[in-house]
A and B are shown apart, each in its own frame.
Chain A
Amino acid sequence: MTTWVFCEEQNGNASPSALELLTKARGWGDVQVFYVGAGSDTAFTQLGDHGSSAVHHLDVGDRLPAAAAAAALAGLVGESDIVLFGMSSTDRDVAGRLSARTGCPVLANAVEIDPSGEEVLVTNEILGGTTRVVTAATAGPVIVVARPKAFPAEQNGGGAPGVTAVPTPDVGHPGGASVLERHVEESEGPDLEAAAIVIGGGRGMGGAAEKWEPVANLASLLGGAVGATRAVVDAGWVPYSLQIGQTGKTVKPDVYIACGVSGAMQHLVGMKDSSLIIAINKDPEAPIFSVSDLGIVGDVHKVMPALNAALENR
């Protein structure tokens, strides 16, 4: 059995999901990476450091990679193999195409993967993270799409892996789409998904720009990142890139401070696995308190300025 981890290059680095999945899978046996992108020694070293024994590198230039990647990957994987993907759009695109090519199902949204028994058991959470379902595939290779942050990424000092170039297969029309432009969203402070401390602001903060200030101030005082609920993003107070939740980003920081966040299920699934959760909300019945380690029932516009002032004076 070989485990394959799909990795799409991101600004010269390995994708975070690939490093997480390598960390998870390296204890199972041989783990190889199917890599899509221009190729970079930095990325290859990252993959080796996280347990990859070999990297199969496909470079399709400015073409959209999914169709070619799925065709090439289908030629490499065997029936007893496991193929792991993250949740980026390219990851999911390739997983779907690989499923069509191999006739094997995609087990999606995985939060746990266990290949130790006779069949590969994949756990996912449904109904807003309240119910766990364990599924298995009856045909292989087993294709799994894992949720971001389901597994922590840790190095094991594996060293540089061998890199093999994969020839670009001719897939005809589907392989013809090209990338014309890329836009990078500008942001300040630490990356929301990687930050150790996240300050999440909800509708309770109020709409005007100055009302949002305590959230940004607290984040900068603690060296954390700012996140927001869907209601806040929908209202246009902050950009979509800050949204935490089912349709936004998943965060798993050491400390999550929810400010004026009621705790709708859609938001909770994106942050409930944080190590320490502190919530400030004026409604004592707010669902956010049911997942909080510390809940302050009070006005965010009184508690936060006092908190920020106290932190400034330290």
Chain B
Amino acid sequence: MQAKKKPVDTKTCADLGVSPTAQQVIRSVEPVPARQAGEIVEDEGEGYLKIIEKLEEAKVI
């Protein structure tokens, strides 16, 4: 309630001696192409073999 009694002083940019101008302009806005989802496998106890296969394909093992 105390806050409501406080005076609100409005100033313009000119009062403060500044003249803001936008120096950054937006040229375009576009959605990022979504990454394609790959293969989804339900694990029936053999799911790890799929991972090994993928790692072999990627030549990391």
A residues adjacent to B (C-beta < 8 A): 103-105, 107, 121, 125, 129-139, 196-197, 222, 254-255, 257, 272, 275-278, 280, 284, 289-299, 302-304, 306-307, 310-311, 314
Contact = CB atoms under 8 A, between A and B. Distances in A.
Given A257-B51, A276-B58, A293-B54, 15 more contacts: A105-B24, A107-B24, A130-B31, A131-B32, A134-B26, A134-B29, A135-B27, A278-B51, A289-B40, A290-B37, A292-B40, A295-B39, A296-B50, A296-B51, A298-B43
A107 B31 CA distance: 19
A268 B51 CA distance: 20
Given A105-B23, A255-B60, A130 B40 contact: no
Which 5 pairs of residues, A with B, have the shortest CB-CB distance?
A: A298-B43, A293-B38, A307-B48, A296-B47, A306-B48
Interface in B11-48: 22-32, 34-35, 37-43, 45, 47-48
B23 A297 contact: no
Interface residues of B, number: 32
Nearest to A125: B32
B21 to A, nearest CB: 8
A238 B37 CA distance: 29
Interface of B: 22-32, 34-35, 37-43, 45, 47-52, 54-55, 58, 60-61
A311 B51 CA distance: 11
10 contacts: A121-B27, A134-B28, A134-B30, A138-B24, A276-B58, A280-B43, A293-B38, A294-B51, A294-B54, A299-B43
Nearest to A275: B58
